[in-house]
Structures are given as structure tokens and as C-alpha cells.
Amino acid sequence: MCGITGVYGPHLGAEARESAVASMNAAQTHRGPDGSHLASVGPVTLGHNHLKIMDLTEESNQPFCFEHLSMVFNGEVYNYVELRQELQQHGYRFDTTSDTEAILKSYHFWGADAVNHFVGMWALAIWDDRAQRLFCSRDRFGIKPFVFRRDEQGGLWFASEIKALKQSPGFQKTLNVDQANLGLGLGWIGYGTQTYYRGVEALAPAHNLIVDASGTRFQRYWSLDPLAKRSGDPRELQREFAERFNQSLEIHLRSQVEVGACLSGGIDSSAIVSSMCRLRPQQPQKVFHIYYADFVDERPFAQQVLDAYPQAEAHYYSPSGRDLESYFAGASSAADAPVNGSSFLSHYALMDLVKQTGLRVLIDGQGADEYLGGYLHSFYPLFADQLRGGQWSALAQTFAGHSRKQEFGFAERLSVALKTLMVLGGTEQIHQAKGRHELAQVLQHSARALNLDLEPYSTSYLDNFLYHLMGTTSLPTILHYNDRNSMSFGIESRVPYLDHRLVEFGFSVPNSAKISPEGATKSILRESMAGIIPDAIRTRYDKKGFVTPGEIAWLNGPLKDLLHTTFDALDWLDSAKLDRLLAAYHGGDRRHAKLVWKLCALNYWIKTDF
């Protein structure tokens, strides 16, 4: 786990490139506190900040070279052991125990197709001096970041974080107002390849970027197959899911340093911690938990796992008001973007807790909700599928089960029905309506400010919805903050639910394996964990997410200065509407509390870190 930087600049001399890359490296030393290096080959200079996880020796330092290839790499390719064994059969010899060497020699052998052999998370750049070609790649889900900008002379500058790109010559700080509005309306960190900076792009997940004398081009190397569906005995599908989950977890535990885990008290993290303890029954296991005693306290659920697995050693933390002031500033700077939700601030605080124990690798539970139907709004497209297919009995059964589990009254049931009808017009409609409703509070023409075009993936509304949760609407934002928060403390965050083989399996199973006919979310995960996690957790249906008191308690307490300031940085908004919204909030109207938080976060970030 590291930070990478670099430039393809035929118009620049090596000295100019190296000076710039050194400054870029210095801007993201938090990503790799164990060493900073750079090297120039032909028209390219590559930079690297090293966080030692897999190979602790100096031989695995980067840029890493083999014959005519030079590489910088950020992430982990967990199947490096199997890759090395396969390459040895083809005559390759290895001098290190690192995944770095396995990655570069895989590229030497398979070329661009090498990334299809990788299981893991990565952002990498390889210069081929023989072909005079720069090859860059980002993992299938965008777990690791890769941002870039192009200069007027045809050069390409890239880095793990935008704060490093800011050190590149000619960088211009121009706010991308379209993205700022998207963040206010929906909280997304980006849409497609957009960032908060005009002229700065993010390499799309599952894409390669190739640069040579003929120009720049992009190649998609992986995608989910909407026709890859399977049926069968539900118990057999549950058994296979558990097998694939354990396979993913086992390779995510590969490390030469200690590995810990988050434990929220929900089913995703509880499945990870419980399974880790079963896989390594004799090994003590550090687990980490954030709580707020006066708001939502999940410690009783976390304790259920600790009671079942005594080798789990709990580390609890409840941030104080003074801590939160510091954390807000730190998280804003780390993200290169506004902190669009208070839960991301809690995650940042959690990383501080992990750092204090000296741990460098953390297993986290992101991803399962997105492809297993874990969010409650996944019911709307499921009901739309049932409605369109005339599955009246199934619709009635699932609707009743969902309403019963969530203890819905008439108003909540009516809301679900109306949102189901909205989805019939396209799954993007529900996002667009929500975003425009928010923006109407602060923009004169909100209907023109948010235009989403989510390309259809499948004929199933639910499949479309989950597909875009993975690639557009939810997961990219979660992964952005997860990476920046963890790496700001020099911690590698691993996400075993995002092993692509497990995701492919999850998309292939019937909808009933995701949301049961009785209205249970993530059904296949719940059933596969029977006897492994406590039933009190396995049968929880009160989906909370990472709940925090930020939008109300914090903004009226330790972070009140964010409210009591001028909002002149947001000069494209309707000032009269903005004043009315803030006045209503100050007067006790909390209906738009989340929007007020996002406005405060954006205003603060533009003034301090933009």
C-alpha cells in the first residue's frame, strides 16, 4: 500500500520532471511513510511513497524495474503467490517475496491482459521503454485511486491524490461547479470520471489508460455479465457463497504485518470478524469500534461477537467534541473534497484509533450492501420487477414482510409504493428526484443542475439498481473516503467483499437470494453465516449504516463554527434561498439537516483546502 506519482512528458527534461515529481511525492508522504523514491526513464519520471506490508526488505522498493519495464504500484494483488508459481513454470525467477515483482513480471509475460489475472486492488503505471508506452491501470471497483491531468503540450501527470497533482507545473485550481452541485444534491464524490477540480479526472474503475506518441486512449478490461445467471438449491448457493467468502478472506489476510478488523455490530463486519477468528482460532484479533453513547451505541451487538470469539480484543473509542474539530479539518484535507456526510468523519476517527495501536492493515466491510441488496431502497426496484412481471403473490408477500420487519405505518407503506412507481421510469429517476429536491433549496434552477444518465445494465430493475450502486451512485464515494481516511494515517484498508469473484457470484444468484420472499435483505449472507455469527446479529433488520449525530448534534455543538460563518465561497448558489434555509435550521427546522451539513462542509473545504 503506497502512493504513486508520475509524468509522461516528452517536452520536459529529466531534471524538471524529477523536481516536480519530488514535490508531488512530498505532498502524499502519509500514504507511504517508509520511503520516497523516483526514477526517470526516457520521457517518463515515476515516483513512489512506500508503506511496507508484503515485503519488508529494501529489494521491493519502487520504482521497480525488470528488463525494459519500470513500474510504480499502489495496492495489493492478493493472489501474488499463485501468480508467482505460474510464472515460475514459464521460466521466471524471483528475487523478492513481494506482490510488486509478481505484478511486473505478469505484465512482462501477459502484457495488458495481466490485469485480468489479478485478484485485489491496485492503481499502477508501467513504462515500457522498448515500446515507448505508458500503461496505467485501476482495479475493477476503484478501491485504489488514480487521478490525472493533461498539460497543453500533450504531457500526462498522475498521482494517487489530487493534493499531489497540485504540485505539478501549470496546475490550475478551478472548481467544478457541476460536481459541487452533485455533492450537495446526492453526496456523491464524483460522477463518472469527474472530480471537484476542472481539468482533473479519475481513471474509471476496471479501465486501463495507455499513453504513447499516438496519444491517450482508454480500455475497459472487465465488466459484469448480466446474462451470467444461475439457479439451484438455495442451500447449495449459500454453501458456495460461504466458500467464496472464506476464500476471499483468506487471501486478504496475507500480510507480513499484523491484520486487524472493524467491528460495527452489523452483519457485514460481524461476518468478517467471526470468520477471521474461525480461520485463525489461536491468534489474538484486534477489532475496532466507534460509538456515541448519547446517540446510537452498537456496543451491545459488537459484544455478542466478542462473547462468541474470546480471542477478539476490542478497542473502543467515543470521540470528544475537541477531537471532532480536529478530525473535521483532517478529513477535509485528506479527501481533497468536502466531507459530504458525518459518518465519514467517524470513519476518520476510527482510523486514528487504529493508528494508535500501531496496526498497519485493517479488514473493512464495504461493498456487501451494494450487490447483495442491503440497503432498504433496494426494495423499490425489486417491487418494480415483481409489479412489471405480474408476480402479485410474491409482491404481496415481500411487501408485507418488509413492512413488518421495518415496523412501517401507513405513511411509510405509501412512500414505498410511490417510490416503486417512480422506479418504473428508470432507476436513475429516484436519485434525480432526490437530488433536485435538495438543490431546489439553494439553487434558482435546480431542474437543470442535475442530469443523470445511468446506462441500462440489465432488463431487471433490481440488477440495474445494484449495478449502479457498485459503479456510480454509492460505492465510489464510500471507497474514496475509505481510502483517504485510512491512508492519511498510513493504514491499508482491505475490503474482502469486493473480491471480483465473489461479486460476480453475488450478481449471478436469483433476486430471492439477495432479498428473501419474506423481506430479509442480504439473505444469502445471513443464511450462510448461520452458526458462525450470533443470531441476534444475523436476524437484525434495522439497517442503520454508520450512523452518527453530526448533522444536528455536532453542527450545534463542537462544529458550530461551521454554521456561524459567511458562506461567500458558495457564490453560485441563490443567496436568498441559502439564507432562508440556514435561518430555518437555526430556528429548529431540521428537515434539511443533511443538506446544511453538506453546505457547511463545502464552504469550509473551498475556504481552507481547495
DSSP per residue, 119-176 = -EEEEEEEEETTTTEEEEEE-TT--S--EEEE-TTS-EEEESSHHHHTTSTT----B-
Q: Are both 150 and 174 inside the same structural domain?
A: yes
Q: C-alpha angle 210/180/125, rounded to 5°?
A: 20
**Given this model, what pLDDT does residue 112 score?**
97
User: Is 70 exceeded by the pLDDT of residue 65?
Assistant: yes
Q: Average pLDDT for residues 98-114, to the nearest whole number? A: 96
**Given this model, what pLDDT does residue 54 score?**
67
**Given this model, what pLDDT does residue 52 score?**
77
Domain contains 104 = yes
Q: Are both 354 and 479 inside the same structural domain?
A: yes
Q: Are both 200 and 265 inside the same structural domain?
A: no
Distances (CA, A) of 531 to 4, 497, 537: 43, 20, 11
- Higher-confidence residue of 348 and 55: namely 348
Cell 461476518 found at: 271
Domain contains 229 = no
Q: Are both 38 and 157 inside the same structural domain?
A: yes
* pLDDT 10s digits, 485-503: 999 999 999 999 999 999 9
Q: Average pLDDT for residues 228-237, to the nearest whole number? A: 92
Spatial contact of 525 and 241, defined as CB atoms under 8 Å apart:
yes
Domain that holds residue 275: 234-371+475-538
Name, in order, each residue with C-beta under 8 angstroms of 470's C-beta and a sequence gap of 6 or more.
141, 367, 370, 371, 503
Name, in order, each residue with C-beta under 8 angstroms of 595's C-beta and a sequence gap of 6 or more.
184, 438, 441, 442, 581
CA atoms within 13 A on the CB side of 552: 12
Q: Whole-angstrom distance between the N-terminal and C-terminal Cα of the chain?
A: 26
Longest dimension (CA), the chain: 73
Q: Are both 187 and 330 inside the same structural domain?
A: no
* Cell numbers for 21: 515529481
* pLDDT 10s digits, 123-177: 999 999 999 999 999 999 999 999 999 998 889 999 999 999 999 999 999 999 9
Q: Are both 521 and 571 inside the same structural domain?
A: no
Q: Average pLDDT for residues 310-321, to the nearest whole number? A: 93
Domain contains 313 = yes
Which of 220, 252, 279 marks a domain boundary?
220
pTM metric for this prediction: 0.94
Instruction: For 472-501, give one letter per residue: b (16+ CB within 10 A) or e.
Output: bbbbbbbbbbbbbbbbbbbbbbbbbbbbbe
User: Is 90 exceeded by the pLDDT of residue 287?
Assistant: yes
Domains in the chain, number = 4
User: Is 80 exceeded by the pLDDT of residue 411?
Assistant: yes
User: Is 80 exceeded by the pLDDT of residue 247?
Assistant: yes
User: Is 70 exceeded by the pLDDT of residue 1?
Assistant: no
Q: Are both 573 and 453 inside the same structural domain?
A: no
Q: Average pLDDT for residues 384-399, to the nearest whole number? A: 93
Measure the CA–CA gap between 539 and 549, rounded to whole angstroms.
25
Which segment of 12-26, 38-52, 85-99, 424-438 scores lowest on mean pLDDT?
424-438
Measure the CA–CA gap between 255 and 109, rounded to whole angstroms.
25
Q: Average pLDDT for residues 440-448, to the nearest whole number? A: 86
**Given this model, what pLDDT does residue 50 score?**
87
Q: Average pLDDT for residues 42-54, to the nearest whole number? A: 88
Q: Are both 380 and 442 inside the same structural domain?
A: yes
Q: Average pLDDT for residues 451-456, to the nearest whole number? A: 85
Phi, psi of 533 (to 5 degrees): -110, 155
* pLDDT 10s digits, 534-565: 999 999 887 655 556 788 889 999 999 999 99
Measure the CA–CA gap between 5 and 434, rounded to whole angstroms.
37
Spatial contact of 410 and 453, defined as CB atoms under 8 Å apart:
no
**Given this model, what pLDDT does residue 452 score?**
85
Domain contains 225 = no
Domain contains 387 = yes
Spatial contact of 305 and 270, defined as CB atoms under 8 Å apart:
yes
Domain contains 228 = no
Q: Are both 434 and 385 inside the same structural domain?
A: yes
The CATH number for 55's domain is 3.60.20.10
- Written as one string, the DSSP assignment of 310-333 is TTEEEEEE---HHHHHHHHHHHHH
Q: Are both 191 and 318 inside the same structural domain?
A: no
Grade residue 442 by pLDDT with cuts at 50, 70 and 90. Answer: very high
Distances (CA, A) of 448 to 191, 439, 574, 595: 16, 10, 14, 19
Average pLDDT, the chain: 93
Measure the CA–CA gap between 363 and 355, rounded to whole angstroms.
14
Q: Are strands 36-41 and 44-50 parallel, antiparallel or unpaired?
A: antiparallel
Q: Are both 153 and 22 inside the same structural domain?
A: yes
**Given this model, what pLDDT does residue 502 score?**
98
CA nearest neighbour of 80 among 105, 108, 50:
105
**Given this model, what pLDDT does residue 546 score?**
55
Domain contains 172 = yes
Q: What percent of the chain has pLDDT over 70?
A: 98
**Given this model, what pLDDT does residue 603 score?**
97
Q: Average pLDDT for residues 340-362, to the nearest whole number? A: 94
Spatial contact of 288 and 261, defined as CB atoms under 8 Å apart:
yes
CA nearest neighbour of 577 among 590, 563, 596, 560:
596
**Given this model, what pLDDT does residue 545 score?**
55
Q: Average pLDDT for residues 271-276, to the nearest whole number? A: 96
